[in-house]
Structure formats: structure tokens, C-alpha cells
Structure 1
Amino acid sequence: MLTPKVIKRLLDTFAGLEPEGAAEARLRLSVLTGREGEVVGAVARGLSNAEIGRELAMGEGTVKAHVSRALAKLGLSNRVQMALLVRDAGKR
């Protein structure tokens, strides 16, 4: 058991810390344009290209182009890696 004083100290110490690698992940994502970032965020939420197109009011071909450009810019090979990078950055 921990005393309330010790619990408060632990919370104060660790509450403000961000996950390891979050800053690096955010830096990697910063190379994306605003629209690419929106598409990447939607991919990270598990949306399909068709769903992303409907949500962001763009054609499915345009979504595919944004996904492909984002993968290339980020040096990734698939959507799962993209979603993990967004998670690592602490973004939703």
C-alpha cells in the first residue's frame, strides 16, 4: 500500500510524461500536407478508402493518391505501419 502523499508524488512525476518516441513520431508526421494528415488520421481510425472519401468529400482515387504519397513520405510500406505511427505520436 502507498500513502496518499507517495501516490500524489508518483502521479505528479509521471502524469506529464509522454510515451517514448512520441516526439519523433510527430516529427515524422510533420512532413505531411494538411490533407494528407487528415487522410492518415482517418486510416489510423481504420476507415476504408471509400469511407475516407465520404468523410472528407473526395473521390476514392484521390484518397488512394494521398495514402500512397503519405506512405512514400513517411517511408512506410502499409496502412498498419501508418496507424501505428499515428498511435505513437499520440494522435487520434
Structure 2
Amino acid sequence: MIKQTLFPKIKRMEINKKYQITEKLDGSNLGIARIGYNLYFCQRNTILTTFDIHDNKNILYKNLENWIIENKETLLETLNDILSFSENG
């Protein structure tokens, strides 16, 4: 588990540089990222891996642990790897 602010102060965009745009879809503050074959779940000021969720389920959003377990493989297949994105940009 990592304690970190999920969205620090944002710098101005630079010209001729690639950017990844994200969108907040509902009222929750949850980010999901894939780095290699690991998933990271970012909520509030905490970043958890799939290995951390069971031991920290008391700080997860209600029913998030079950949702992660049910959707883990789909997320790994669907999400772009952040490292491959940053290496190309």
C-alpha cells in the first residue's frame, strides 16, 4: 500500500507532447491503472495493488473488493499498460 495524493497539482500542457486524458464518470474518486501484469487501485489518498486489497478491505469502497476479484482478468486484458504508454510518448 502506498500513501499518496492521487491527483497532485497539474502542470500546464506542453506543445508537441503526448498526453493521456482521463475522465471522471461518477461521484467516486477511484482510479484504476495497469503496470505490466499488476493492477493498481487508487482511491482517496491510497494506492493498492490486487495483493493489498484483502488486507485493506476496511478502507475500500463498499463491495469494491468483490468487484475487483470478479473483473481482474478483464481489466488486465482491457487496460493499456501505463509503462508502454509513457515509453512511447
Short-chain TM bin = 0.3 to 0.5
Structure with the higher fraction of residues in helix conformation? 1
Q: State TM-score, norm by structure 1.
A: 0.35
Which structure's CA Rg is the greater one?
1
Structure with the higher fraction of residues in strand conformation? 2
Q: State TM-score, norm by structure 2.
A: 0.35
